[in-house]
Amino acid sequence: QVQLVESGGGLVQAGGSLRLSCAASGSIFGIKVVGWYRQAPGKEREWVATIHTNRNTFYADSVKGRFTISRDNAKNTAYLHMNSLKPEDTAVYYCNFVTSYVPWGQGTQVTVAS
């Protein structure tokens, strides 16, 4: 069973930056489309960004131009570089395989103070 472990969250001031990591167990990471998602208090989980195996990337309009998704297949790890953070980016951030979900990890909390 593949396990996903997110890390790198924290408390940051508005305008600040963070880099989140998503480490996957097993050997299938390199052939999977990876996505980042987030869930704010009282809201449903929403999609944030996707990176394909050919490294094509896609972003939600709310984060386009501020967030960058990347991957290192040798380390079975995906990243989410977040710049110009806003209070509305506050959420628990998760990663998963876009076309074939595995059990969700615990996520990593990002809190942006105004």
Give how far Cα 38 sits from Cα of 20, 54, 73, Å: 12, 24, 22
Q: Can you give the pLDDT at residue 28?
A: 87
Pair 69, 50: CB distance under 8 Å:
yes
pLDDT at residue 36, as a whole number: 98
pLDDT tens across the length of the chain (114 residues): 899 999 999 999 999 999 999 999 988 898 899 999 999 999 999 999 999 999 999 999 999 999 999 999 999 999 999 999 999 999 999 999 998 889 999 999 999 999
pLDDT attached to residue 68: 98
Query: What does R_g of the chain's alpha carbons equal in angstroms?
Result: 13
For every residue of the chain, DSSP letters joined together read ---EEEE--EEEETT--EEEEEEE-SS-GGGS-EEEEEE-TTS--EEEEEE-TT--EEE-TTTTTTEEEEEEGGGTEEEEEE-S--GGG-EEEEEEETTS-------EEEEEE-
Per-residue pLDDT, 26: 85
pLDDT value for 81: 98
What is the model's pLDDT at position 30?
87
Q: Residue 43: what pLDDT? A: 97
